[in-house]
Structure 1
Amino acid sequence: MIAAFALILVCQLFGEVVSELFDLPVPGPVIGMVLLFIGLLVKRKPPKVLTDAADNLLIHFSLLFVPAGVGVVTQIDRLKGDWLPIAAALTISTLLTMVLTALLMSKLFPKQDTAEKMEDAQ
């Protein structure tokens, strides 16, 4: 599992290097995960050690929110002053994401007629 975490961290490092080298407005970890994704697409099947590490990370996913929660607490005064625009941005972006996801899913998955749905249900 150490090799899998090392691979993830190396991808993050390359992402940071690319972000700094080209002065991109995208965070290095995001670029690193895109690089990892491209690597997995090329390989076609992720290595077992990488899927095990990912499963382990997902089990403890809630721990990854602790630093974000601490960041919110340290900025509580700013949040009190700007709560309305922040709440509006969160609400609008969430609704927009839901609508766009629904539209994309309706385009990607073919529609079944009612007879096929009944047959699939049985």
Structure 2
Amino acid sequence: MIKGLFNILLFYFLGEVCSLFINGFIPGSVIGMILLFLSLYFKLVKPEYVRDAATVITKNMAVFFIPPAVGLMAYAEYISQSIWTISLAIIVSTVFTLVVVAVVQDSFEKRRAKK
């Protein structure tokens, strides 16, 4: 468990360092997640090392939403002024995500059918 948590936090740290070099263009947490994925994919890190820690983090995910929820309540006035812009951004990004996932899934299924 400790080893898995160390690995997850190590990749988070590496992602934050990489993010500093590109002036925060991509968030460090996203870069760290990509680095962890690549290390698992290329078998640099064994999945058994991070499985237990990842399971605990995933099962307690609600705890991680408390700070953003408090922030939303604190800035409710500002958010209400831009509700239409925020709603449009949510709708557009959701549709875009659905389309990208559908295209990628379709390409994977076609590739699997050829094999």
Alignment size in residue pairs: 111
- Give the structure, 1 or 2, with the largest relative contact order (CA under 8 Å, sep 6 or more): 2
SS in structure 1 at match of 2:26:
coil
The structure whose Rg is larger is 1
Q: Percent identity?
A: 31
The CA deviation string for residues 95-121 of structure 1, in whole angstroms up to 9 with x for no partner, is 2211222232222213xxxxxxxxxxx
1:1-122 correspondence to structure 2 within 5 Å: 1-43=1-43, 46-110=46-110
Q: Which moved more, 1:67-76 or 1:42-51?
A: 42-51
Q: Which amino acid aligns with 2:105?
A: M
Going from structure 1 to structure 2, the CA distance change for 1:11 and 1:92 (only over 3 Å counts) comes to same
SS in structure 2 at match of 1:43:
coil
Task: Provide TM-score, normalisation by structure 1.
Answer: 0.78
Q: Give the whole-Å Cα distance in 1 for the aligned partners of 2:90 and 2:17.
A: 31
Going from structure 1 to structure 2, the CA distance change for 1:88 and 1:22 (only over 3 Å counts) comes to closer
The CA deviation string for residues 23-67 of structure 1, in whole angstroms up to 9 with x for no partner, is 241111111112111211221773323111111111112222112
Q: CA RMSD in A?
A: 2.0
Runs of 4+ in structure 1 over 2 Å off = 21-24, 44-47
Q: Which moved more, 1:53-62 or 1:76-85?
A: 53-62
